[in-house]
Structure 1
Amino acid sequence: MSTSKPKSSKLIFTGMVHPIHFKNLSGRDFERMVFATLLRMRAWRWLNWHGQTGGDKGRDIIGVCEDELGNEATVVVACANWQKFTLAKAKKDIDRLTSTQGTPPHEVIVIAGGDVSAETKDKCKAHADANKIKICQVWSGPDFEEHLRFHAPSVLNRFFNGDQLPDDEAELREFMLELDPATEKEAGLLVARLFNRPAFQTPIHCESSMPAFRQAISDTIGALNTGIWRDREGAIISRVPPSHVFPDARVSEGLTNCSKKLNTLRMTLDEGIKANAIRPCQCNNPLCTTHEIDPPYPQRLEQERTEALRKAADALALLGVQLS
């Protein structure tokens, strides 16, 4: 199925859609909407919608993103659009998801189509904790609708206008890459994901991991300028609205200034490396990415990164979007 369409030089926003009754959706349609929403919510290193599994013919969603330290974290998702959400079924799904991994996943998300009591959520989290799962989220139907409307209103807009979401994972992924945001706020949320990474949140000390830091700076500059967000291997992670397409000139200018500040940050980093004030540690481990940083470079890098983030935060705030 072809999903390509002409791209305009400016964002065009459309009206919103009807109330959602997830119980009226097939299990497959529910899973499509979950997968599409997750693609928009996080910066995934990869996210796969697997083949049919289990007696209910449901499909697992398994992905890898960065944890708070920048390490790979496995996330497994169960779509539970049952007529009645029960604790026993939820526990069974958590056990099944856990058993498919060699080690317990970092995070499990169980997404229901209807109501889920606070008591049931707590018991699901306790069960996950007993299985050595660090994070467990249980979304009720209203919780999922809130995420869907907040992060991916364009999915709703297309779905309720009769444009069925693709059933094939690769086609659905491409569909989401080509799908324009339905609101200016959704466009801002796509940009905000660029900064929701350890490279922009971890304090810079006298010892830090510099290769990943520099790569994140370059990736973000490229995304802000071109709208194409690539990973360290050059593969496309996602497409985001580039700074110049925002109708509000203040937003466009603010994101452009953020890109300029990030370029200054990258130049300072390169300057420190050239002067040998930023250098690999002497542990003799070829896999070690830690660098020693001499003053005043930790302070300079921290200040320049803060200035770049402030430019982005101020611009996105005009759209009602906050950086994490």
Structure 2
Amino acid sequence: MASPSRTVQRIHFEDFGGVEFERLVFAYHVRAGWNNLAWYGQTGSDQGRDIVGIDMFDASSPRRTVIQCVNRGALTRTKAEADMEAAVSAPTGRIDAIKFVSGGSISAKARDAVEASAMALSIEHLTIWSAVEFEENLRLRAEDLLRRFCAGEVFPDSGDDIRRLADDFAGLNDDEALRLMAPLFDRPAFRTPFHQESSLPAFLQAIEDTIGALNTGIWRTRDGDEIRRIPSLHHLRDPLTQGHVREAARQVDELRRVFIGGLRDGSIKPCSCGKSYCHTFMLNHGIDRKLDQLRMRALDAFRSAHPRFDIHVS
């Protein structure tokens, strides 16, 4: 007999207090990997800045961003303009972007008006999230925080305590943890087939980053900067599930070992064009297939833990 379908009702953030909403917004951005987050709203003197942080993940390059939380009343051009004027003239220095997170709906007319005001103030990067957009991102990256918020569990008062809460992942079940891990494998290093002549920009770095994130939960950029916290394999509760993810990590590590070995013994060689920026490598016959097999084993092992995982070698 088929199980009844469930309808997920949207969250009415506007039913909650403004401070609680700010706490949730702050906790979400901690979970999303933003750096140097400061919650000014808790001091009562935000000078047009509820939260300030550096967007390391959603932007193409790190941006110092002011995040304004709007949970009482609609986001109007007048309010947005006042907040943006205060933010750009605040004594804490230059900002690169402004982001509004609303607890309600935002009309197309209101968006257009706020965007026009941002352009007039020479603000190049503007993000506007309605309640629906905020909820979608919460369900993607921080469903446990959303559950806590909706269940009436009060978030801590201080930014440091909220940061510890968001980094703990204690409320995550294994399926949610695996969903946050899955993007580690959704990158060209795991999807692009090897050929005897292959373009491999930062391939080794991507592999090492994946191993590190699976084992520690710290996802880093190519330059080593932390961009996001995710659950590590040690957060997984089911021994069988954890075993599959450990096997995926072992296969990725073997992939790294074979690639480094190929560079050392000459079976993998940089292109002979002599250009330092060239990403092309020449692979001897056989090692390309071995590398592909190791990647497929890693993806299959992770899929054994997370059956909905749908990344494959192209």
Q: Same fold (TM over 0.5)?
A: yes
Q: Identify if the C-alpha distance between structure 1 residues 237 and 270 changes in structure 2 by more than 3 Å, giving closer, same or farther.
A: same
Q: Which of the residues 58, 62, 68 maps onto 1:78? A: 68
SS in 1 for 2:245: helix
Q: 2:135 matched to which residue of 1?
A: 145
Q: 2:50 matched to which residue of 1?
A: 59
SS in 1 for 2:109: helix
Give a deviation string over 1:129-158, Cα, whole Å, max 9, x none.
674635x43221233233334432322333
Question: Is the 1:190–1:241 contact (alpha carbons within 8 Å) kept by the matching residues of 2?
Answer: no
Q: Does 1:218 align with 2:205?
A: no
Q: 2:257 matched to which residue of 1?
A: 267
Q: How does 1:101-120 map to 2 (within 5 A)?
A: 102=94, 104-105=96-97, 108-120=98-110
Q: Which of the residues 267, 281, 288 maps onto 1:294? A: 281
Structure 1: gaps spanning 5 or more residues: 1-16
Aligned length, in residue pairs: 291
Deviation at 1:104, TM superposition (A): 3.6
Q: Distance in 2 between matches of 1:218 and 1:293?
A: 19
Structure 2: gaps spanning 5 or more residues: 1-7
Q: Distance in 2 between matches of 1:219 and 1:234?
A: 11
Give a deviation string over 1:183-226, Cα, whole Å, max 9, x none.
4442223213434678668999866553xx434423322432x4
Tell me the TM-score normalised to structure 1 length: 0.67
SS in 2 for 1:314: helix
Q: 1:7 matched to which residue of 2?
A: none
Q: Identify if the C-alpha distance between structure 1 residues 99 and 198 changes in structure 2 by more than 3 Å, giving closer, same or farther.
A: farther
Task: Kindly provide the amino acid, as one letter, of the partner of residue 160 in structure 2.
Answer: A
Q: Distance in 2 between matches of 1:236 and 1:95?
A: 29
Q: 1:10 matched to which residue of 2?
A: none
Q: Distance in 2 between matches of 1:271 and 1:214?
A: 12
Q: Which of the residues 285, 296, 303 maps onto 1:307? A: 296
Q: Distance in 2 between matches of 1:244 and 1:60?
A: 29
Q: Does 1:28 align with 2:43?
A: no
Q: Distance in 2 between matches of 1:87 and 1:143?
A: 19
Q: Identify if the C-alpha distance between structure 1 residues 58 and 68 changes in structure 2 by more than 3 Å, giving closer, same or farther.
A: closer
Tell me the TM-score normalised to structure 2 length: 0.68
Q: Identify if the C-alpha distance between structure 1 residues 177 and 272 changes in structure 2 by more than 3 Å, giving closer, same or farther.
A: same
Q: 1:12 matched to which residue of 2?
A: none
Q: 1:48 matched to which residue of 2?
A: 37
Q: Distance in 2 between matches of 1:197 and 1:296?
A: 21
* Identity %, equivalent residues: 26
Deviation at 1:19, TM superposition (A): 7.2
Question: Is the 2:48–2:84 contact (alpha carbons within 8 Å) kept by the matching residues of 1?
Answer: no
SS in 1 for 2:104: coil
Q: Distance in 1 between matches of 2:115 and 2:48?
A: 25
Deviation at 1:167, TM superposition (A): 2.8
Give a deviation string over 1:212-249, Cα, whole Å, max 9, x none.
x434423322432x454264769795351417835394
Q: Distance in 2 between matches of 1:24 and 1:293?
A: 56
Aligned CA RMSD, in angstroms, stands at 4.5
Q: 1:8 matched to which residue of 2?
A: none
Question: Is the 1:194–1:220 contact (alpha carbons within 8 Å) kept by the matching residues of 2?
Answer: yes
Q: Identify if the C-alpha distance between structure 1 residues 308 and 98 changes in structure 2 by more than 3 Å, giving closer, same or farther.
A: farther
